[in-house]
Amino acid sequence: MLDNLMLGFQTALTPENLFWCFVGVFVGTVIGVLPGLGSTTGVAVLLPLTLAFEPVTALIMLAGIYYGSQYGGTITSVLISTPGEAASVVTTLDGYQMARRGRAGAALSIAAIGSFVAAIISLLLLILLAPPFAEFALRFGPPEMMAVMVLGLATIISFAGDNRVLGLLMALVGLLIACVGVDTGTGVARYTFDSIYLLSGIPFVEVMIGLFAVGEVLNQIHEGAARPIRAGFRELMITKADIMRSRGAILRGSFLGFAFGVLPGAGSTLASFMAYGIEKNVSKSKDEFGRGAIEGVAAPESANNAAANANFVPTLTLGIPGGATTAVLLGAFLMNGIRPGPLLFDEQPDLVWGLIASFFIGNVILLALNLPLAPVFAQILRVPYGYMYPLILLTSFVGAYSITNSMFSVWVVLVFGIIGYGMKRLDFPMAPLVLGLVLGPLFEKALVQTSALGDGSLAILLDRPIALTVLVLALLQVVAPTIFSRLLRDRRAAAAQESDLTPRR
């Protein structure tokens, strides 16, 4: 094990590989900052460029782009409420609120620290436990995945804010939007109105850019230009108290993210939503969530980074992609003449361990790059909004166009921008809608598969211990808060009664 890792570091630390690792991480961060360009697009777009490299160098650079862009997406989520990809949607909830309060620097710093800690934890788990984890993940067939999706949908309760019914309705709207497109099982086109662009459904990255970035700009314009945030350099720095407060959130987020990342297909988005939901439930200061709680940034950022690394567990041990980006990376393996599969570790030890060692190095570079830069990035908010709005709109539309090279994406952004503006005016929660939209297709697929496996009946769920356990957890998640608060109220009432009685004695 240690020999292998040493071998890996020998490979990863050659000047050439080190240089391209740095380039990958840096370019990745830039790509992540651009709205619309997430890790999947970034890796896909730059893949052809790396064909001239040695295979290991190419993969090191592409992997650098992958986790670099995860962090880049955080920067825009915090500063201008524009998530680069679905996994950083949750970060906008508290990250942007922190920025509006002049604490953008702290938000960015905790995201960098959380991501780093999560990366190290998940890499250690990857090195030590990848094969058993991969084995376990294989036991998650369609029924288990369906249960996981139900669990994911149940987290909506945590995001619904004060009005749960409204939150659930928004989630349903998200699920409905997710129904558009060709159904994978039978190939029937639903709600496509003969448009070829709708065949693959309404793309959620564009929806997110519209709802969050454009919607926010329109809303700001309506409210009258907000003042630029003039925070002193000192206020932009992260404090020791911030870190102490986020400790638990980062650790919980890391392990949760790893667990979800190992499951093929479930991925980082679900992990980040779940991590946020858990923090909100365990936190002592629940009220602060949604108004700039630093745990609300630390947890999802740690979770999505851990999940991104955990995606490599099935990818490297089985040759099965753990998520959309690792699927593209697997393509990169093939293009470099490397056949991924269970024998990869034995056949190409220097490549696999070199890649894993480069993850460590890449994450150190990311931390070294981003921690000092966090307050600097935060200075962007000093720019008067008169200049910021056009810039945000421009990058949103250009970013959207670049996803599929077509105007269709731009129209989606525009339409959802207006919808997002409407939702902001009416104070409708947006996170449940995004969660519904992301989980919708996954849930449907698992549901259809489960029903096919069970010969038309969902009773198969009852024969599967893992599925059943997860479903019970989902149920608990929905009812537990109500039961707890009722218990608490009863106890308080009882206490109050007692104290009422005391003076009379």
Partner 1 sequence: MKRIIRTTLTATAAVTLLAACGGAGGAEEGGDFSPRGDVTMLVPFAAGGGSDLAGRATAGALEAANGDLNVNVENKDGGSGAVGYAQFLGESGNGQYLLATETALLALPLGGTVDWTYEDFTPIMKIADDFTLMVAPQDAPYETCTDVVDAAKSERIVAGISGATGLDNVVFTLTEQQTGVEFDRVSFESGGELTAALLGDQIDIASLNPGEVIGQLESGDIKALCAYADERYEYDELKDIPTASEQGIDVSFAQFRGVLAPGGIDDAAKDYWVEQMEAAIETDEYTTYVEDNFLQPNTAAGDEFAAYLEDNNTKLQEVLDK
Question: What is the rounded distance in angstroms from the CA atom of residue 278 to the CA atom of residue 342?
Answer: 35
Of residues 98 and 320, the one with the C-beta less far from partner 1: 320
Q: What are phi and psi of 283, to 5 degrees?
A: -65, 150
Spatial CA neighbour of 161 closest among 405, 418, 425, 431: 431
Of residues 160 and 471, the one with the C-beta less far from partner 1: 471
Q: Shortest Cβ distance from residue 76 to partner 1 (Å)?
A: 24
Please report, to the nearest 10 degrees, the dihedral formed by the alpha carbons of residues 66, 70, 72, 73 taken in order. Answer: 130
Of residues 289 and 443, the one with the C-beta less far from partner 1: 443
Question: What is the rounded distance in angstroms from the CA atom of residue 11 to the CA atom of residue 31?
Answer: 26
Per DSSP, the residues of 194-254 read T-GGGTT---HHHHHIIIIIIHHHHHHHHH-PPPPP---HHHHSPPHHHHHHHHHHHHHHH
Of residues 163 and 184, the one with the C-beta less far from partner 1: 184
What does the block give as tokens for 221? Answer: 């314009």
Q: Shortest Cβ distance from residue 62 to partner 1 (Å)?
A: 10
Q: What angle is formed at CA 70 by the lines to CA 7 and CA 305, rounded to 5 degrees? A: 65
Of residues 157 and 344, the one with the C-beta less far from partner 1: 344
Q: Shortest Cβ distance from residue 247 to partner 1 (Å)?
A: 35
- Judge whether 311 and 326 are in contact, CB under 8 Å: yes
Which residues of the chain form contacts with partner 1 (CB under 8 A)?
44-45, 47-48, 51, 138-142, 181-182, 184-187, 189, 192, 194, 196-197, 199-200, 264-265, 314, 318-321, 327-332, 334-335, 337, 339-344, 404-406, 445, 448-449, 452-453, 455
| Chain centroid to CA 496 | 43
Q: Shortest Cβ distance from residue 497 to partner 1 (Å)?
A: 56
Residues with Cβ within 8 Å of 180's Cβ and at least 6 positions away in sequence, in order, are 190, 191, 192, 198, 201, 202
Q: Shortest Cβ distance from residue 51 to partner 1 (Å)?
A: 8
Of residues 145 and 430, the one with the C-beta less far from partner 1: 145
Of residues 47 and 270, the one with the C-beta less far from partner 1: 47
Q: Shortest Cβ distance from residue 47 to partner 1 (Å)?
A: 5
Q: Is 347 helix (H, G, I), strand (E, B) or coil?
A: helix
Q: Shortest Cβ distance from residue 178 to partner 1 (Å)?
A: 15
What does the block give as tokens for 69? Answer: 């862009």
What does the block give as tokens for 251? Answer: 């650790």
Of residues 134 and 217, the one with the C-beta less far from partner 1: 134
Q: Shortest Cβ distance from residue 408 to partner 1 (Å)?
A: 9
Other CB atoms closer than 10 Å to residue 441's CB: what's the count? 18
Q: Shortest Cβ distance from residue 330 to partner 1 (Å)?
A: 7
What is the 8-class DSSP label of residue 183?
A: -
What does the block give as tokens for 175? Answer: 């699920």
Of residues 282 and 458, the one with the C-beta less far from partner 1: 458
Of residues 44 and 400, the one with the C-beta less far from partner 1: 44
- Judge whether 210 and 180 are in contact, CB under 8 Å: no
Of residues 190 and 425, the one with the C-beta less far from partner 1: 190
Q: Shortest Cβ distance from residue 462 to partner 1 (Å)?
A: 17
What is the 8-class DSSP label of residue 36?
A: T
Q: Shortest Cβ distance from residue 341 to partner 1 (Å)?
A: 2
- Judge whether 132 and 138 are in contact, CB under 8 Å: no
Instruction: Please give the C-alpha separations between residue 402 and each of 35, 168, 300, 410, in angstroms, as whole numbers.
Output: 10, 33, 27, 9
